[in-house]
Chain A
Amino acid sequence: MGRYLIRRLLQFIPVFFGATFLIFVMVWAIPGDPIRALAGDRFLPEQVRQELRDRYHLDDPLPVQYGKYMGGVFQGDFGDDFRGRPVTDLLAQRLPITVRLALLAFGFEVVLGIVAGILAGVRRGGFMDNLVLVSTLVVIAIPIFVLGFLAQLVMGVKFGWFPVSGVQRGLYSYLLPAMVLGSVSLAYIARLTRTSLIENLRADYVRTATAKGLSRRRVVGIHTFRNSMIPVVTFLAIDLGSLMGGAIITETIFNIPGLGRAVFEGVQRQEGTVVVGIVTFLVVVYMVANLLVDVLYAVLDPRIRYE
Chain B
Amino acid sequence: MATTLSRDAVAGRPVDPAAPLLAVEDLRVEFRIDAGTVRAVNGLSYTLGRGETVAILGESGSGKSVGAQAVMGIIDSPPGFVTGGSVRFRGVELLDLPEAERRRVRGNRMAMIFQDALTALNPVFPVGWQIAEMFRIHRGLPRKAAGEKAIELMERVKIPSARVRAGSYPHEFSGGMRQRVMIAMALSLDPEILIADEPTTALDVTVQAQIMSLLAELQQQTGMGLILITHDLGVVAEVADQVVVMYAGREVEKGPSLPVYHRPAHPYTLGLMDSLPRRDVHTERLRPIKGSPPDLLAIPPGCAFRPRCPYGREICAREEPPLAAVTSDRISACHFWEEVSRERAGA
A interface, CB within 8 angstroms of B: 203-205, 207-215, 218, 223, 226-227, 300-303
A240 to B116, CA, bound (A): 38
7 extra interchain contacts, Cβ-Cβ under 8 A, other than A213-B103, A302-B124? A205-B121, A208-B122, A209-B122, A211-B112, A227-B124, A300-B124, A301-B124
In the complex, chain A residues whose CB is within 8 Å of the CB of B72: 211
> How many residue pairs, one in A and one in B, have C-beta atoms under 8 Å apart?
69
Contact A213 B138 (CB under 8 A): yes
Q: Which of A211, A215, A227 contacts B122 (CB 8 A)?
A: A227
Q: Is the interface of A mostly helix, strand, loop or mixed?
A: helix
Verify if B156 is at the interface (C-beta below 8 Å from A). no
Given that A205-B119, A212-B134, A303-B171 are contacting pairs, would A226 and B124 also be in contact in the complex, using a CB cutoff of 8 Å?
Answer: yes
Chain A nearest CB from B200 CB (Å) reads 16
Interface string of B35-69 (1 = CB under 8 A from A): 00000000000000000000000000000000001
Chain B residue with minimal CB distance to A229? B124
Contact B171 A211 (CB under 8 A): no
Contact A211 B74 (CB under 8 A): yes
In the complex, chain A residues whose CB is within 8 Å of the CB of B104: 213
Contact B122 A212 (CB under 8 A): no
Interface string of B127-150 (1 = CB under 8 A from A): 000000110011000000000000
Contact A212 B119 (CB under 8 A): no
In the complex, chain A residues whose CB is within 8 Å of the CB of B74: 207, 210-211
Verify if B246 is at the interface (C-beta below 8 Å from A). no
Q: Which of B108, B137, B169 contacts A218 (CB 8 A)?
A: B137
In the complex, chain B residues whose CB is within 8 Å of the CB of A300: 124
- Within 152-204 of B, Cβ neighbours of A (below 8 Å) are at 169, 171, 182, 185
Chain B residue with minimal CB distance to A302? B169
Q: Which of A213, A218, A227, A301 contacts B106 (CB 8 A)?
A: A213
In the complex, chain B residues whose CB is within 8 Å of the CB of A227: 122-124
A212 to B139, CA, bound (A): 13
Chain B nearest CB from A185 CB (Å) reads 25
> Which residue, A203, A213, A215, has most C-beta atoms of chain B within 10 A?
A213
A32 to B66, CA, bound (A): 75
Chain B residue with minimal CB distance to A212? B107
A261 to B273, CA, bound (A): 79
A226 to B130, CA, bound (A): 14
In the complex, chain B residues whose CB is within 8 Å of the CB of A205: 119-123
Chain A to chain B contacts (Cβ below 8 Å), 23 pairs: A204-B116, A204-B119, A204-B120, A205-B119, A205-B120, A208-B112, A210-B106, A211-B74, A211-B111, A212-B111, A212-B133, A212-B185, A213-B107, A213-B137, A213-B138, A214-B103, A223-B122, A223-B125, A226-B125, A227-B123, A301-B123, A302-B124, A303-B171
Chain B residue with minimal CB distance to A210? B74
Contact A208 B103 (CB under 8 A): no
In the complex, chain B residues whose CB is within 8 Å of the CB of A215: 103
Contact B124 A208 (CB under 8 A): no
A149 to B107, CA, bound (A): 56
Verify if B340 is at the interface (C-beta below 8 Å from A). no
Chain A residue with minimal CB distance to B189? A213
Top 6 closest pairs, chain A to chain B, by CB: A213-B107, A213-B106, A204-B119, A212-B107, A205-B122, A302-B169
Contact B119 A203 (CB under 8 A): yes
